[in-house]
Amino acid sequence: MDVATPTSDCLHLVHDLLTPIIMKGNDKAALSHQENRILNEIKDQTEQILKLVFENYKSLDESSFSGLKAVVSSATGVPAPALAPAVKLYMLLHDVLSPEDQTNLCHYFQLAAKKRSRMHMGETDEFVRNNNDPNFWDASSTAAYHKMTMVCKNVKNEIYTDIEIQNQNILPSFIDLSNLSASIYSTDLCNRLRTFLVACPPSGPSPAVQQLVIATEDFQRDLSSWNIRPIQAGVDAKELFHLYIMIWIQNRRLSLLESSKLDKVKWCGVGTQHSATPFVDEMYTRLNETIQDYQAIISRWPEFIYVLESAIADVEKAIVEALEKRYADVLSPLKENSAPKKLFKHVKYLTKRSAVSYVVPDELGILLNSVKRMLDVLRPDIEAQFQAWSSCVPDGRNSAPGDRLSEVTVMLRAKFRSYLQAIVEKLVENSKLQKETMLKKILQYSKESVGESDMRRKMQNLKEQLTNTVNHLHFVCSTDVFIALSRGYWDHMGWIVLSFLENKKEKRDWYKGSRVAVSILDDTFAAEMQKLLGDSLREQDLKPPRSIVEPHDGNRVERRRRRLLQEMAIPMTRMMVPQVSSSLRLSHRNLSNSTRGALLCRCAPSELQPLRSALFPSSLLRSGLSLSAGAHAIPHPDKIEKGGEDALFVSSYRGGVIAVADGVSSWAEQDVDPSLFSKELMANASRLVDDEEVVRYDPGFLIDKAHTATTSRGSATIIVAMLEEVGVLKIGNVGDCGLKLLRQGQIIFSTTPQEHYFDCPFQLSSEGSAQTYMDASFNIMEVKKGDVIVMGSDGLFDNVFDHEIVNIVTKHTDVAESSRLLAEVASSHSRDPGFESPYALEARAKGFDVPLWKTALGMKLTGGKLDDVTVIVAQVVDS
């Protein structure tokens, strides 16, 4: 046996030689003691050969002297020739009906899968070792992602070859090789993907990143199609990439919003005749690039349509806002026409004589052309793409893809219509500045005795004014905008004639002159439009408006006006009606504030006592890392009886979840208890955190679902941190609740407060105008055993400096004691009027200080910020 090799011929020979001896050896008396000893030694050596075969069943080589391949290559579905005799020999030496022997054989194949898995994972070791920079991304990362993609494909090939080997019916029936190996490969690949994504975090859906996403999702889908049993800790592509995709969309949204800010816009005012501003085309080019970047992702996970659509709709609104700010000077005269006319009636009368004729500025033409281009050219492609995606979205959603974009369409059309209407009114007012061009005055002189030639002579000045105006509109506006303005102008002038006839309907002597005036208006507008546009003018564009066609029918005019008003009102109503939904039970929504407050008090950091601390033991998980957390809260001195307005929860689910919410005190001015919202928010978060289908262990989803389920009036800032057992910390926060990560006595990461302006943070609210989870800031960090997380409301970080936090946490390793001491220090500082607190320093830096006379005396703003203080200290430990 010393010269035996794991080859087919050798194993067949050993089997043939051992068979009669084994059969004889079953009778204990048939062999002597010496022969039994020799037989047992042979069995042991044979077992070693079999172990070598099974643990390397994909690396056997008949042509090799050792029986093993010198260089490990890709697996094939053809079983090695030595595998069948090895199984036959194992069945000769063992009782395969014995559970112990069955387990032993399965263990060999498991070791083989682990060995192959380590080999594949080792190809990416260089990218996950010694890389502690969470923002790592450079040219080498593209190669890293390509290699990780190949690992996914190679591991999938390993499982497929196991299925092919299984189908050869070589192995005993109790061995399910494909499921046996798939559980190892999928678990190892999932852990490696998590580690890899933390070490080389993807900054966006670049081609290399998309290839990895596709490879991961294909791996998961193929395993399902091959009837591989679900693997609890195996690859879940959506879970792995969900938070990253949310961050990508959010970052792209913020980037595009930043690019659309007025001070960031380039070429916004540059334009040529008939042109739109290049800013609009540039922004929509970037929007289309964004959509293309997410084609592969949305084709696999259509639910991301809603997040992407919301981001694009926000950017489109920002584009419109930037345009209005940029062209505010040319829009401001138009707003006078939308103001209550009675307010300015006497002012206009007094200043009429000195009024200047209105001329449509070139920049206003650029704005109109830009909005029209957005509506007719740039947006339809985006809407068509989302419409095509909508067929992939499963039923059951309250909204359909495209609803947010439809809101933007309605808004744009309403704005464009209001711009046109205001311009037309301005142009009509030009005709009222002089008696010679005032159409109503001209009509008043048109009696039966006035001839057509006299009427045309009286209309000459007005005709020249109309001609000049139409020519100027053609110069500054694109064709579609020019036609819309000209026809609106034409229709409004006809409306003046109709209104005049309505007032004179009992006096038929006015009709002849009015018909002449209508004819002149008709000829002037149609002739000028035909001359300027030529063959590009459509036939329907030359048809006179109804106010011209039916000058005598006052009832028809009234019906037309009502129809137009209805058309304008319908989209505006649709845009303004909010959609409200809640997942709470109806009985909960009907509770009184006092009853609801009593039910939610368990999520408050304190009740009637001013000081309260709690210790939460570390999670009892199967493996990996978890959190051991302690919490302490001290309410505002005036809010001790109701326990303050902060709330928190700590969960041992998976690696551990910690969260803090800070209720907004100003709601008390509206007789609303500010603590109810934050407490219910935390209660909902605590209830939903272990719902994998809804939350997917993602802070963004948890914030969103908890916010949606909260029905109390009020608002709150919030922060949530979730630890994966593999050492990945996911953080999401809205507002100024904060988190600091400490490692070896140093703060290596801090969240950034989100503020509209000083002391006005972002917040979730019961009102629709506030922020949502889409406005949250998300971060992903790799943590290690011994790291300490300090989380708290702004009452902590406004009153305690970083060095104080490090000092306390370093000296006191007990998390409950650390949280208590931090809360007490923050509370003490908040009540000290002479303390130079972080809050006071920031206030002075933002320009908030004592009055000038106090400054002259050497005084300055000092003191802490009196507030609720809530602190959670959590240490990363072995589960």
Tokens 């149609």 map to which residue? Answer: 526
Give the pLDDT of residue 336. 64
User: Given pLDDT bands bounded at 50, 70 and 90, which one contains residue 552?
Assistant: very low
More confident: 190 or 140:
190
Q: Does residue 353 sit in the same domain as residue 492?
A: no
Alpha carbons 755 and 761: distance in angstroms, whole number: 4
Residue 647 has pLDDT above 50, yes or no: yes
Q: Are strands 657-663 and 612-616 parallel, antiparallel or unpaired?
A: unpaired
Q: Tell me, yes or no, whether 846 lies in a domain.
A: no
What's the token pair of residue 23? 């059969």
Give the pLDDT of residue 130. 60
Q: Does residue 414 sit in the same domain as residue 548?
A: no
Residue 384 has pLDDT above 80, yes or no: yes
Q: Tell me, yes or no, whether 513 lies in a domain.
A: yes
Q: What is the pLDDT of residues 314-355, one digit of tens each?
A: 999 999 999 999 999 999 888 765 443 433 433 343 344 446
Give, in order, the Cα–Cα distances in Å from 170 to each of 84, 86, 101, 173. 6, 10, 17, 9
Q: What is the pLDDT of residues 56-68, one digit of tens each?
A: 988 888 888 788 8
Q: Does residue 804 sit in the same domain as residue 718?
A: yes
CATH number of the domain at 677, please: 3.60.40.10
Instruction: Pick the last residue of a domain from 430, 451, 475.
Output: 430
Least confident of 41-55, 563-577, 620-634: 563-577
User: Given pLDDT bands bounded at 50, 70 and 90, which one contains residue 643?
Assistant: confident
Task: Report the b/e string of 567-585 with b at 16+ CB within 10 A.
Answer: eeeebeeeeeeeeeeeeee
Percentage of the chain lying above the pLDDT 70 cut: 81
Q: Tell me, yes or no, whether 318 lies in a domain.
A: yes
Q: What is the pLDDT of residues 705-760, one digit of tens each?
A: 899 889 888 999 999 999 988 888 999 999 999 999 999 999 999 999 998 878 88
Q: Tell me, yes or no, whether 460 lies in a domain.
A: yes
Q: Does residue 420 sit in the same domain as residue 522?
A: no
Q: Does residue 386 sit in the same domain as residue 523?
A: no
Give the pLDDT of residue 378. 93
More confident: 642 or 24:
642
What's the token pair of residue 391? 């067929």
The whole-number average pLDDT for the span 785-789 is 95
Give the pLDDT of residue 127. 87
Alpha carbons 452 and 464: distance in angstroms, whole number: 18
Q: Tell me, yes or no, whether 216 lies in a domain.
A: yes
Instruction: Pick the last residue of a domain from 430, 458, 493.
Output: 430
Percentage of the chain lying above the pLDDT 90 cut: 45
Complete DSSP assignment for 243-256:
HHHHHHHHHHHHHH
What's the token pair of residue 863? 């003191």
Q: Does residue 339 sit in the same domain as residue 453?
A: no
Alpha carbons 166 and 102: distance in angstroms, whole number: 16
Domain of 752 in residue numbering reads as 592-831+864-878
Alpha carbons 349 and 612: distance in angstroms, whole number: 71
- Any long-range contacts for 637-641 (C-beta under 8 Å, 24+ apart)? 637/610, 637/831, 637/866, 639/675, 639/868, 640/606, 640/608, 640/609, 640/610, 641/608
Give the pLDDT of residue 505. 53
User: Given pLDDT bands bounded at 50, 70 and 90, which one contains residue 504?
Assistant: low
* DSSP conformation class of 617: P
Give the pLDDT of residue 773. 81
Maximum Cα–Cα distance across the chain: 148
Instruction: Pick the last residue of a domain from 545, 576, 607.
Output: 576
Give, in order, the Cα–Cα distances in Å from 625 to each of 198, 329, 648, 688, 727. 15, 60, 22, 22, 6
Q: Does residue 623 sit in the same domain as residue 656?
A: yes
Phi, psi of 277 (to 5 degrees): -70, 135
Q: Does residue 389 sit in the same domain as residue 520?
A: no
* Pick from 79, 6, 85, 84: nearest CA to 45: 6
What's the token pair of residue 137? 């991304």
Alpha carbons 394 and 324: distance in angstroms, whole number: 38
Cα-Cα-Cα-Cα dihedral sign, residues 62, 67, 72, 74:
positive
* Pick from 779, 681, 799, 789: nearest CA to 733: 779
The whole-number average pLDDT for the span 121-150 is 77
Give pTM, 2 decimals: 0.65
Give the pLDDT of residue 1. 54
Planar angle of CA 791, 795, 799, nearest 5 degrees: 100
Q: Does residue 550 sit in the same domain as residue 601?
A: no
**Residues 6 or more apart whose Cβ sits within 8 Å of residue 400:** 390, 393
User: Given pLDDT bands bounded at 50, 70 and 90, which one contains residue 133?
Assistant: low
Give the pLDDT of residue 600. 39
Q: Does residue 657 sit in the same domain as residue 572?
A: no
Residue 732, SS3? strand
Least confident of 86-95, 506-515, 742-751, 806-815: 506-515
Residue 294 has pLDDT above 90, yes or no: yes
* Pick from 867, 801, 828: nearest CA to 663: 867
Q: Does residue 441 sit in the same domain as residue 426?
A: no
User: Given pLDDT bands bounded at 50, 70 and 90, which one contains residue 572?
Assistant: very low
Q: Tell me, yes or no, whether 839 lies in a domain.
A: no
Q: Mean pLDDT, the chain, as a whole number?
A: 81
Q: Tell me, yes or no, whether 781 lies in a domain.
A: yes
Q: Tell me, yes or no, whether 840 lies in a domain.
A: no
Alpha carbons 769 and 767: distance in angstroms, whole number: 6
Give the pLDDT of residue 491. 86
Beta bridge partners of 789: 741, 874
Q: Does residue 424 sit in the same domain as residue 446?
A: no
Q: What is the pLDDT of residues 683-710, one digit of tens each?
A: 999 999 887 766 778 898 899 889 988 9
Alpha carbons 635 and 609: distance in angstroms, whole number: 9
User: Given pLDDT bands bounded at 50, 70 and 90, which one contains residue 188?
Assistant: very high
Complete DSSP assignment for 466-480:
HHHHHHHHHHHS-HH
Number of domains comprising the chain: 4
